[in-house]
Amino acid sequence: MKKCTFAIAAGHQETANAASIVLEDGGNAFDAAVAAYWAACTAEPCMASAGAGGFALVHPVGQKPVLVDFFCQTPMGSPNPAVPFHPLVVDFGDSTETFYIRSGSIAIPGAVAGMFHLQEKYGTRPMSVLAEPGVHLGKRGVPLNKFQAYDLFLLKEFMGDTEKGRSLFYKEGRVKRTGEVIALPQWADYLDDLSRKDARSFYCDEPAKHLIRDHEGHLQVNDLSTYQVIERQPLHVHFLDHDIWTNPAPSMGGMLLGLMLTDMNRWPLEDLADPIRFQPRWDQMCSNLRKNGIRPETLAALLSQWQTSDELPPQAWQGTSHISVVDHAGNAIALTFSIGEGSGYFIPGTDIHMNNMLGEPALLPDGPFTWTQNVRLGSMMAPTVMASKDRESWTAMGSGGAGRIPFMLAQVINRMVAGGLHVPDAVQAPRSHRDDQSLHMEPGFPDRVYHQVYTAPVNPWQKASLFFGGVHAVNWHGDQQEACGDERREGVGIVR
């Protein structure tokens, strides 16, 4: 077995382990990310699925970074209010939010096409090898950790809307708890079979036929058979002496991140490096963004020198997970993905839970069934790669956290670049977030920071929280590498 130096950061130990297995066998970072994704379908079932979508920022050594868009797409046909479409309220404790499930909420999934695209264009190992850890986990099962159990509890009505969902995620009439095992044996068998074929078999054969025939939703044969992965030129911005590449239009997260870093470039270095001076300026910048309106057209205008004239569709703000990998050669990938909350529909015989992207409130500004036909959905996801000026250091990162994602990434990047912190310290350092009511602040800042004058009342949190994202980041600097999975979401970092 070939041993090599690498770094992995992911949202679950088993997700990271799958990547490690492939890297230890001589695979590259892109192979590892694909293997990790298939493992996440069991280890992180509220985040990952063959029915999901996402984005990958890939940096092959010696080449320019590329954004691989395999996010969900709206159907070609018109919205139909007669299809099954049901509201569910999620209670987050301090707030509630309504989402929609069932077949009318399902958009065209891109995860399968995306994984095959990464493997075929950038990988070195056959898909059957990359699928092995995921197949094993699906059959054996994975005990729920605290974060996954909490996520499953929040989404229990989505995951348990059908008898199939209840059979997988419930026990004795209630949703499974920490330590109880989630196994997806039919997914394991299907993944094993899929890995010996190609993406077309998912979009054109039995799974597609079930989607069209069984669920009475919007998707039709042509919607699935014509789905394409899109490679885009990343949004490229400079921050101090670093180059940063992130998710471009039609997504909004990367544009927002780029806008903040561009503004922060004009600040004195001492304001960036000192948390006491940083927080008032950060609060004011975030307040100004909210006054201008965090909308695609606003950000596109502000970043017009970097954007094309493509029309920007509505944005998805759903929860996410993330995988970052760098290998011994310096190849890097940042991979972010989501199924939204899930539609409650599982493709028969596969254990595949389909997304509910057409049931996301952020995609329904004028109410249900108002989405635009045949467009790639945008997102606040912002997988990001950063390079030092001398190109001797590369960092891959991304986060969950819905609309807070770019704000969390900007703070981590600033801690690394202006503050000089290593990846673990930058990721675990306290963060803040300005919403319409408050400036939320985690514990750990200098005492004076909480008592300064801001544009909104300060809400001091008693402990670090998943509210402030889940940044999983890795850094490559020749034979010196770092990895950190965010403790806020029980993330895992591996360096070997």
DSSP secondary structure string for all residues of 458-491: EEE-SS--GGG---EEEEEETTEEEEE--GGGT-
Number of Cα atoms under 13 Å in the Cβ half of residue 123: 24
Same domain membership, residue 286 and residue 176: no
Instruction: Dihedral sign for Cα 230, 357, 350, 226, please.
Output: negative
**pLDDT at res. 309:** 32
Among residues 377, 403, 423, which one ends one of the domains? Answer: 377
Residue 315, pLDDT above cutoff 60 = no
CATH of the domain at 464: 3.60.20
Give pLDDT tens digits for 227-281.
999 999 999 999 999 999 999 988 889 999 999 999 999 999 999 999 999 999 9
Q: What would the mean pLDDT of 136-162 be, rounded to a whole number?
A: 95
Together in a domain, 288 and 358: no
What pLDDT does residue 356 have?
Answer: 94
Is residue 3 predicted with pLDDT exceeding 70?
Answer: no
- Phi, psi angles (nearest 5°) of residue 51: -95, 15
* Count of structural domains within the chain: 2
Mean pLDDT of 93-105: 82
Report pLDDT for 307.
36
pLDDT tens for each residue of 379-433: 889 999 999 999 999 999 999 988 889 999 999 999 999 999 999 999 999 999 9
Q: Do 308 and 420 share a domain, yes or no? A: yes
- Using DSSP, state whether 391 is helix, strand or coil: coil
Least confident of 44-58, 282-296, 427-441: 282-296
| Same domain for 393 and 368 | no
Choosing from 246, 320, 336, 350, which is the catalytic residue? 320
| Residue 179 sits in the same domain as residue 253 | no
pLDDT number for residue 311: 37
Residue 18: which pLDDT band, with cuts at 50, 70 and 90?
very high
Phi, psi at 30, each rounded to 5° = -75, -40
Is position 5 within any domain? no
Query: What per-residue confidence (pLDDT) applies to 365?
Result: 67
User: Are residues 84 and 187 both part of a single domain?
Assistant: yes
**Residue 294 pLDDT > 90:** no
Do 300 and 407 lie in a common domain?
A: yes
Q: How far apart are CA 91 and CA 316, in angstroms?
A: 19
- Is the pLDDT score of 122 beyond 90? yes
Q: Which domain, by its residues, includes 225?
A: 42-232+340-377
- Provide the pLDDT for residue 91: 75
Counting Cα atoms < 13 Å in the Cβ hemisphere of 61 gives 14
Q: What local confidence, expressed as pLDDT, does residue 1 receive?
A: 33
Q: Is residue 8 part of a domain?
A: no
Q: How far is CA 255 from CA 177, 247, 333, 358, 482, in A?
A: 38, 7, 19, 23, 27
Residue 359 lies in a domain: yes
Q: What is the pLDDT of residue 94?
A: 58
DSSP per position, 68-136? EEE--B--SSPP-TTS--EEEEEE-SS-EEEEEESGGGPPBP-HHHHHHHHHHHH--S-HHHHTHHHHH
Using CA atoms, how far residue 54 sits from 67, 188, 420, 442, in Å, is 11, 21, 31, 29
pLDDT at 305 over 70: no
Considering only 4-8, 30-34, 272-276, 431-435, which range has the smallest mean pLDDT? 4-8
Which of the listed residues 332, 359, 377 is the one where a domain comes to its end? 377
CA distance 87 to 488: 29
Does residue 355 belong to any structural domain of this protein? yes
> Is 320 noted as a catalytic residue in this protein?
yes
At residue 290, the pLDDT reads 79
Q: How many CA atoms lie within 13 A of 329 on its CB side?
A: 13
Q: Collapse the DSSP code of 261 into the 3-class scheme (helix H, G, I; strand E, B; otherwise coil) and give the result.
A: helix
Measured between its terminal Cα atoms, the distance across the chain in Å is: 14
Pair (463, 369) in one structural domain: no
The predicted pLDDT at position 5 comes to: 87
The answer as to whether 460 is a domain residue is: yes
Give the span between the Cα atoms of 442 and 275, in whole angstroms: 13
Q: Are residues 290 and 423 in the same domain?
A: yes
Higher pLDDT, 66 or 99: 66
Name the token pair of 451. Answer: 């008592």
Residue 333 inside a domain? The answer is no
Of these ranges, 31-35, 366-370, 391-395, the one predicted with the greatest mean pLDDT is: 31-35
Q: What distance in Å separates the CA atoms of residue 244 and residue 255, rounded to the nearest whole number? A: 12
Residue 476 has pLDDT above 60, yes or no: yes
Statement to judge: residues 275 and 391 lie in one domain: yes
On whether residue 464 sits in a domain, the answer given is: yes
Given a cut of 60, whether residue 306 has pLDDT beyond it is: no
One domain for residues 78 and 209:
yes
3-state helix, strand, coil in the chain (%, to 5): 40, 20, 40
Give the domain-ending residue among 326, 351, 377. Answer: 377
Judge if 286 and 416 occupy the same domain. Answer: yes
Residue 15 included in any domain = no
- What is the token pair recorded at 425? 């310290």
